[in-house]
Structure 1
Amino acid sequence: MTGMLDGKVALVTGAAGGIGRASARLFAEEGAKLVISDVTSEGVEQTASEVRDLGGEVVPVVADLASKADIEAMVAAAVDRWGRLDCAFNNAGITGGQIGQGGRLTADWDEEAFDRIVTINLKGTWLCMVAQIRQMQTQEGGGAIINTASLAGLQGFPTTTGYSASKHAVVGMTKTAALEYAPKIRVNALCPGYVDTPMLEDTMARRGEMILGQIPFGRLADPCEMAQMACWALSDRGSYATGQAFAVDGGFTAG
């Protein structure tokens, strides 16, 4: 059986670690040619090295999702190298804990921090979609996009107001784009549960025991489990799926 992404050109943002790195590795194993990006050169180069060790073709790009020019350069890198962009995983994002807002109630968030999280998680994802959709519209076969949202994009979580607002908006934007560009371009969202990545360290330090008690599987997810869902959604095996927010959460939202 061939790989799920054989012959496809894929873009992964937030590829320096966690879900992004696991996805870059899996996509390469499944046959994709890759453009990967992150805001740090060291991290994205490390991922690129791991992809090459797996026999994959990869172009690493340093990009800040607050920069429209950086985002357009990511898509251009794929087109310049391979002439098209078939798949895009808009995975990069930040949490409240990463910008000093962990544990703060809605009225206690700093305005600057709120603006920052919306700029990266929402506007950055939108700008990625703009560049990706414009390219996919021009090419035979269209393409597929999956955006990382969150369980906090599906329901409320105390002390996550900026993060939750941005991720709810990503889900809404995903559904809207899916309707607008069907059937040529499929657009879905991945809503990870609690995943064992550095981004979760602040949350687990504050509420880890309680969180594990709420997950029917009784454990955190491995980043590779999120990568598998993203890979399927971007592949032709997910050809009839669009406009969905896939919760991959060990049963957290089933209750």
Structure 2
Amino acid sequence: MKAIEVKKLVKQYARTHERAVDGISFSVKQGEFFAFLGPNGAGKTTTISILTTTLRKTAGQVLIAGHDLDHETKQIREKVGIIFQKPSLDKTLSAEQNIRFHACLYGMFMYRPAFWLMPSAYKKRVQELAEIVGLQNNLFQPINKLSGGMQRKLEIIRSLMHMPDILFLDEPTQGLDAVSRRALWNYINLVRREHGTTVFLTTHYIDEAEGADSMAIIDHGKIVFSGAPQKLKTKLNVKKLEDAYVELLG
């Protein structure tokens, strides 16, 4: 079964001559680790925003977990988790309150006005994820008291709360220290193994895509390569994916 199917996807913003996304097609198998790479302005974030229902497409067909993007956005949102490149936290709330509202909006738990009133399953999940990313000592601090890296960790916790079938990661480790970055990837790999979660990654840390099952590289709105990382390395006769990526786009 395909977790993601994209056919001839187009996005053209108003009052622009060039398409941000220009008729791209690709698919991602269920449980696969898929990397979607490209330089700044290539169309990566536009594509991921369309796939996660936060941006309207101009043309094309998109199926997410078997659901049609044009008619089943609610069902799609229930299946996906998202870590966006740009922060989307409510700065009037504490870290834990941001998590609690998100979990309740997804229908995971009935809302309670305080952390200690929430079910034990909620509290256990929050504390487990907080320990993984190193935020256990900051859960009850106001957002404006957290550093940029801490806020990034909070968004990671929030996106993983409901065990999504498909996890979209848009520059997930940007702003994280090396220890937190490794801990996050160890956890994502664990989730993939134990729950069959599909991972869709965009990143400028090309080494993070070395272990991808398949990938696509987009440039100026068009797919310029599609296939396994090893296929591109073999084609360009290099050992590291980053070297192949630079050579292809350079």
TM bracket, shorter-chain basis: 0.3 to 0.5
**Greater strand percent: which structure?**
2
TM-score with structure 2 setting the length? 0.33
Higher relative contact order (CA 8 A, sep 6+): 2
